[in-house]
């Protein structure tokens, strides 16, 4: 019995000493969300910061209001990101139902949609 206890203590000591200075590897890399999620999941592939510039440069604020600034002819867009979720619903409305129709290159339209999706009460 005494031999068994000494052997167990020796085994534990050797195992502890062998792993004392061992370098530990990270188990998994941290998961990072994509910078611009793709549209099948309800997010535009555009850049919201560029979309804000598209909104300003194309005179959208002459009819629409965002955050208390802008025109009153069109609907207030301050919280439009809470009501519409899919980029295609924005695209269909802007191209087909909006008066006047929005005519932009694809990248600018994606950026504008990303900006509109970001307009929520809590950003």
At residue 76, the 3 state secondary structure works out as strand
Tell me, yes or no, whether 19 lies in a domain: no
What is the residue whose two structure tokens read 């207030």? 76
In the structure, what pLDDT confidence band is assigned to residue 103 with cuts at 50, 70 and 90? confident
* Span 42-92, pLDDT tens digits: 566 889 999 999 999 999 999 999 989 999 999 999 988 888 778 888 888
Q: What is the CATH number of the domain that holds 68?
A: 1.10.760.10
Tell me, yes or no, whether 30 lies in a domain: no
Domain of residue 53: give its range: 44-118
Tell me, yes or no, whether 79 lies in a domain: yes
What is the CB-side half-sphere exposure of residue 33 using CA atoms within 13 A?
6
* Span 30-56, pLDDT tens digits: 555 444 444 444 566 889 999 999 999
Tell me, yes or no, whether 55 lies in a domain: yes
């Amino acid at each position: 019995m005494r031999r068994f206890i000494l052997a167990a203590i020796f085994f534990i000591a050797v195992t502890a000493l062998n792993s004392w200075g061992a370098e530990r590897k990270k188990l998994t890399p941290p998961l990072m969300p994509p910078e611009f999620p793709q549209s099948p999941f309800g997010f535009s592939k555009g850049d919201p910061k560029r979309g804000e510039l598209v909104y300003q440069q194309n005179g959208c604020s002459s009819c629409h209001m965002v955050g208390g600034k802008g025109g009153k002819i069109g609907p207030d867009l301050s919280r439009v990101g809470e009501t519409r979720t899919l980029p295609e619903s924005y695209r269909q409305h802007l191209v087909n139902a909006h008066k006047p129709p929005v005519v932009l290159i694809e990248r600018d339209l994606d950026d504008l949609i990303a900006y509109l999706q970001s307009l929520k009460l809590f950003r």
